[in-house]
C-alpha cells in the first residue's frame, strides 16, 4: 500500500514539474507570390518568441509557435485559423496580406482569439469592434502621406495606375484612397488597369501599354516581383516617367529583380533602414545571423506585434482578457517606433510610414 502511494506521489510530482506551454499561432503566405512577405513575418515572430523563451518564457511557461501556410488563398487562410483554434492557441500572429485577413477575422471573432495582422492595412477592417489588431495604420493614412509628398516634390498633373486584384482587399482600398487624395490636388487618372498575379500575359500586355502612354506618373499597386517586372518593361521605352508603388512592393525582391531600372522609384515603406537607433541595428543584426536575410519591414512589424501579444500574456491580470489588456495599454514601445492603438485596435499614429527613393540600389528614406 505504502509502495503504491509512493509511486502515485512520484507520478504527481513529475507531472507537476513539467513546464507548461503557451501556444501561439502563425498564419501567413509562405508559398506563392507573397512568400517574401509571409516568410519575414514568420521569421520576425520566431525571433521574438526565441528571445522570450531564452528569458524564461511567459511567467515560466515555454512559448510554442504553430505555423500555418495560407498559400495566399482566402478560403485556406480561414481554414488554417480554424485549425489553430482547434489546437488551442492563445493568440495568432498574421496573416501577412489584407485579402487573407478579411477571410480570417470572422473566424477569430467567433472564437475570441486576439490576432495581430502585422502588415495588413485594408480599410475594410477599420473601426470594427473585433479581435483583430495591427501595428500599422490603414491605407487611408499611408496614401495621404504619399500623395502629399508627391505633390510637394513633383510636377504631376495626371497618372496611370495598376492594381493586382489577387489581394483586392488591400489594393482596392489603396487605389481608392490614393486616387481620392490625388484628385484633391487636381491630379487625375488617365489610364487604369488591373490583373491578378500569375497572369503573366496580362502583366506583359499592361506593362507594354504603360511604357508607351504619355503620363507624368505610374502607380503600381502590386507585389514586389510584379512591380519589378513592370518597371523593367516601362524603362525599356520610357526612362523618365516617375514610378511609384504601394508599400506592398517595398521588399528586397524589388531591388534584386528590377536592378538598375529601379533607380528613382518612389516606394513608401514601413521601415527606415537608415535609422541609427541601437535597438533597431541590434535587431537587424540578430535577424540576419538567425535567418541569413535582411529583416525587411515585415520582419520588424511581426517582431513588434509578437512582443505586444506576449507582453499582454505576461502582464494582464487574471480578470483581464488579452484584448482588454491591449486596448487598455494602447501604446507600445516597438523597435524603430512606438505605436498607438485606438479603441478598435487600429494603429492611429502612422508611426511606421516612410517615403523612400531608390538610389544606387538601396531604399533611401526621404527626410524632406
Residue 13 confidence (pLDDT): 45
Name residues of the chain where pLDDT drops below 50: 2, 5-17
**3-state SS class at 267:** strand
Query: What is the per-residue pLDDT across 22-60, written as a single tens digit (0 to 9) for each?
Result: 999 999 999 987 888 899 999 999 999 999 999 999 999
Residue 2 confidence (pLDDT): 46
Residue 33 confidence (pLDDT): 76
126's torsion region: left (phi>0), alpha (psi -120 to 50) or beta?
beta
Q: Which three cell numbers stand for residue 48?
A: 521574438
Query: What is the per-residue pLDDT across 110-129, written as a single tens digit (0 to 9) for each?
Result: 999 999 999 999 999 999 99
Distances (CA, A) of 206 to 164, 212, 214, 218, 355: 12, 10, 14, 12, 26
Q: How many CB atoms lie within 10 A of CB 104?
A: 28
191's torsion region: left (phi>0), alpha (psi -120 to 50) or beta?
beta
Residue 365 confidence (pLDDT): 94
Q: Which domains does the chain have, with CATH numbers?
A: 20-136+276-340 (3.40.50.2300), 139-269 (3.40.50.2300)
How much is the pTM?
0.85
| pLDDT above 70 as % of the chain | 95
Amino acid at each position: 500500500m505504502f509502495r503504491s502511494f509512493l509511486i502515485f506521489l512520484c507520478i504527481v510530482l513529475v507531472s507537476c514539474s513539467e513546464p507548461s506551454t503557451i501556444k501561439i499561432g502563425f498564419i501567413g503566405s509562405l508559398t506563392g507570390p507573397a512568400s517574401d512577405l509571409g516568410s519575414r513575418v514568420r521569421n520576425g515572430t520566431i525571433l521574438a518568441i526565441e528571445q522570450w523563451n531564452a528569458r524564461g518564457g511567459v511567467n515560466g511557461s515555454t512559448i510554442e509557435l504553430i505555423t500555418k501556410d495560407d498559400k495566399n488563398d482566402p478560403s485556406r487562410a480561414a481554414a488554417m485559423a480554424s485549425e489553430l483554434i482547434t489546437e488551442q492557441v492563445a493568440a495568432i500572429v498574421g496573416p501577412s496580406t489584407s485579402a487573407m485577413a478579411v477571410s480570417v477575422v470572422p473566424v477569430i471573432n467567433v472564437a475570441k482569439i486576439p490576432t495581430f495582422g502585422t502588415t495588413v492595412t485594408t480599410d475594410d477592417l477599420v473601426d470594427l469592434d473585433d479581435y483583430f489588431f495591427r501595428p500599422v495604420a490603414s491605407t487611408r493614412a499611408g496614401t495621404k502621406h504619399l500623395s502629399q509628398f508627391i505633390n510637394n516634390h513633383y510636377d504631376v498633373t495626371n497618372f496611370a495606375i495598376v492594381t493586382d486584384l489577387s489581394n483586392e482587399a488591400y489594393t482596392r482600398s489603396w487605389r481608392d484612397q490614393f486616387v481620392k487624395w490625388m484628385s484633391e490636388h487636381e491630379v487625375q487618372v488617365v489610364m487604369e488597369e488591373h490583373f491578378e498575379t500569375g497572369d503573366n500575359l496580362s502583366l506583359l500586355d499592361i506593362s507594354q501599354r504603360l511604357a508607351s502612354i504619355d503620363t507624368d506618373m505610374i502607380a503600381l499597386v502590386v507585389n514586389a516581383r510584379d512591380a519589378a517586372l513592370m518597371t523593367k518593361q516601362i524603362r525599356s521605352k520610357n526612362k523618365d516617367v516617375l514610378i511609384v508603388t504601394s508599400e506592398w512592393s517595398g521588399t528586397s525582391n524589388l531591388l534584386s529583380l528590377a536592378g538598375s531600372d529601379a533607380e528613382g522609384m518612389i516606394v513608401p515603406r514601413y521601415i527606415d533602414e537608415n535609422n541609427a537607433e541601437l535597438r533597431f541595428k541590434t535587431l537587424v543584426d540578430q535577424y540576419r545571423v538567425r535567418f541569413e536575410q535582411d529583416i525587411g519591414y515585415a520582419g520588424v512589424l511581426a517582431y513588434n506585434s509578437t512582443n505586444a501579444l506576449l507582453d499582454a500574456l505576461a502582464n494582464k491580470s487574471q480578470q483581464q482578457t488579452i484584448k482588454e489588456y491591449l486596448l487598455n495599454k494602447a501604446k507600445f514601445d516597438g523597435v524603430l517606433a512606438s505605436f498607438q492603438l485606438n479603441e478598435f485596435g487600429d494603429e492611429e499614429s502612422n508611426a511606421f510610414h516612410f517615403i523612400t527613393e531608390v538610389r544606387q540600389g538601396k531604399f533611401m528614406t526621404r527626410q524632406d
